[in-house]
Structure 1
Amino acid sequence: MMTSTAKPSKHLRGLKLAALALGTSFILAGCAGKPPTEQYAVTQSAVNSAVSAGGTEFAAVEMKAAQDKFKEAELAMHDKQYDKARMLAEQAEWDARVAERKAQAAKAEKAVQDARAGVQDLREEGQRSVQQQ
């Protein structure tokens, strides 16, 4: 009697373990199954802003990194590797933000240089008119 009772409990135990494993895999699949659409949209906006700010001209390295990572994120989204897609999209967003800030800083520096040159031109013109009198 002991041997006949032991066999059903082993079988039942195996079924419980299988059900637990199956349930765990469904839970994990459910967590990883959500596409990072919000992050994707934020990243796309950041890349577009960086391009508009002149990132391709003034921050070419950072801009290329942002665009490359964004393309990789698109591929990961297509392959349903959502965790990888989210990570790449976040990295691309920050690269794009760095490119945008760098482009803005370069433009501001150029504006300062132009203003200094304008001031220097005015000084020289003022000195010439004083000397001519």
Structure 2
Amino acid sequence: MEPIPMKTFALSPSSLRGFNVTALALGSSVLLAGCAGNPPTEQFAVTNTVVKSAVSAGATEYAPVEMKSAQDKLNQAEMQMHDKHYDEARRLAEQAEWDARVAERKAQAVKAEKAVQDAQQGVQQLREEGSRAPIIINN
């Protein structure tokens, strides 16, 4: 039997460099796609809970700017989630959560301040009533 000559395949340095760049780009895109592939469902659940809590605390009335910001960012996050831009959706949902927390705290502070003012007004009325001359009725 006669030996069969093997054909060798030689790559030039320039074609090898192009192959390396292509492989690196492909590997990077696969890696990034893997990282961005996790929907932020847990963050959305937390954010929705915090937004509802802020609304219950009266944030729409007492902290309307902060509450609107939270709701707008949550809507943007939902659009990003729908488009499968999970990293951006997570970032916006986190911002919406913190805006809602600020709105809730501000609403609580405004309501507490209002309660203090009402109490002070009640004390003032009691003082005024106590300082009046008593009405004596003789029979």
Task: Please classify the TM superposition score into its range, dividing by the shorter chain length.
Answer: 0.7 to 0.9
User: Cα offset for 1:17?
Assistant: 4.6
Return the match for 1:26 from 30, 33, 44: 30
Return the match for 2:10 from 8, 11, 17: 8
Return the match for 2:127 from 117, 123, 126: 123
Indicate the residue corresponding to 2:109 in structure 1: 105
Larger Rg over CA atoms: 2
- Amino acid of the structure 2 residue aligned with 1:132: I
Write the distance in 1 (CA, Å) between the matches of 2:100 and 2:131. 46
Q: TM-score, normalised by structure 1?
A: 0.85
- Amino acid of the structure 1 residue aligned with 2:11: S
Return the match for 1:69 from 52, 66, 73: 73
User: Cα offset for 1:114?
Assistant: 0.7
**Structure 2 SS opposite 1:40:** helix
Write the distance in 1 (CA, Å) between the matches of 2:52 and 2:61. 14
Q: Percent identity?
A: 67
Q: Which has the higher helix share?
A: 1
Write the distance in 1 (CA, Å) between the matches of 2:102 and 2:28. 40
Indicate the residue corresponding to 2:47 in structure 1: 43
> Runs of 5+ in structure 1 lacking a partner?
none
Write the distance in 2 (CA, Å) between the matches of 1:125 and 1:112. 20
User: Cα offset for 1:27?
Assistant: 1.1
Return the match for 1:78 from 82, 85, 98: 82
Write the distance in 2 (CA, Å) between the matches of 1:108 and 1:24. 53
2:84 is the alignment partner of 1:90: no
Q: TM-score, normalised by structure 2?
A: 0.82
Write the distance in 2 (CA, Å) between the matches of 1:121 and 1:18. 82
Give me the CA root mean square deviation: 2.2
Aligned length: 128
